[in-house]
Amino acid sequence: MTAPACALLVAFGALAVADWVATATDRTRVRYLTKPAALVALLGVALAIDPAEGPARAWFVVALACSLAGDVFLMLPSDRFVEGLGAFLLAHVAYIVGLLVAGVSPGLLVLGLAVVAVAVVAIGRPLLAGVRRGSPELAVPVTAYVGVISAMVVCAIGTGDGVAIAGAALFYCSDALIGYGRFVRSLPGSPVAIMVTYHVGQALLVLSLL
């Protein structure tokens, strides 16, 4: 890893921790700075590292840029959930392409499908049931999102890279917590858990490029 990438990774870590603290203490104004700044720093890491998978880096950069847009939409005072959902859906599509470019094993893809199928049954079914009960107009976009993020996790498993798999799994957990809290019921401590799993997951996906 290059020196600029290391410096940006440290900056990302500091901003991420600051955002977790601001989330825990409900400091919304602080989060207007820390939340997008953390992704900007991580985007800088992706641009500055010397990755083993050079072609995949471009798609990961696109994914991070879309994630940054999603972060901004979801933190606005007005409800921009659909716009944020769309931005993150595009982020996962970009990650899927990047992971495929990096190389996947057909056998591991089958394993990934089996693992993710279990997760969709355990997590996705109650989530989608909650969407249909409370916000039926969002059933189609949320279902599409669940499908795309699930495909991203399958592709991460398909690479056989433990760092990418851990990153994708944490990203999945973060989004599952968001969906569960919005459409099923809120869980104690979930706002902080959402951000910790999100930031660590994104960072691991970027580091999987090395």
For residue 79, what pLDDT is reported?
74
pLDDT values of the chain reduced to their tens digit, one per residue, 210 residues: 899 999 999 999 999 999 999 999 999 999 999 999 999 999 999 999 998 778 999 999 999 999 999 999 988 877 788 899 999 999 999 999 999 999 999 999 999 999 999 988 888 888 888 888 888 888 899 999 999 999 999 999 999 999 999 999 999 999 999 988 888 887 788 899 999 999 999 999 999 999
For residue 128, what pLDDT is reported?
86
For residue 201, what pLDDT is reported?
98
Distances (CA, A) of 111 to 10, 21, 123, 182: 35, 37, 18, 30
Q: Tell me how crowded residue 197 is: count the other CB atoms within 10 A of its CB.
A: 20
For residue 180, what pLDDT is reported?
86
Helix/strand/coil for 50:
coil
For residue 183, what pLDDT is reported?
86
For residue 165, what pLDDT is reported?
97
CA nearest to 157, candidates 174, 141, 171: 171
pTM of the model: 0.93
Contacts (Cβ under 8 Å, ≥6 apart) of 58: 98
Tokens of 69: 């847009």
Between CA 136 and CA 32 the distance in angstroms is: 30
For residue 181, what pLDDT is reported?
84
Between CA 110 and CA 41 the distance in angstroms is: 35
For residue 40, what pLDDT is reported?
97
For residue 43, what pLDDT is reported?
97
CA nearest to 195, candidates 94, 50, 67: 67
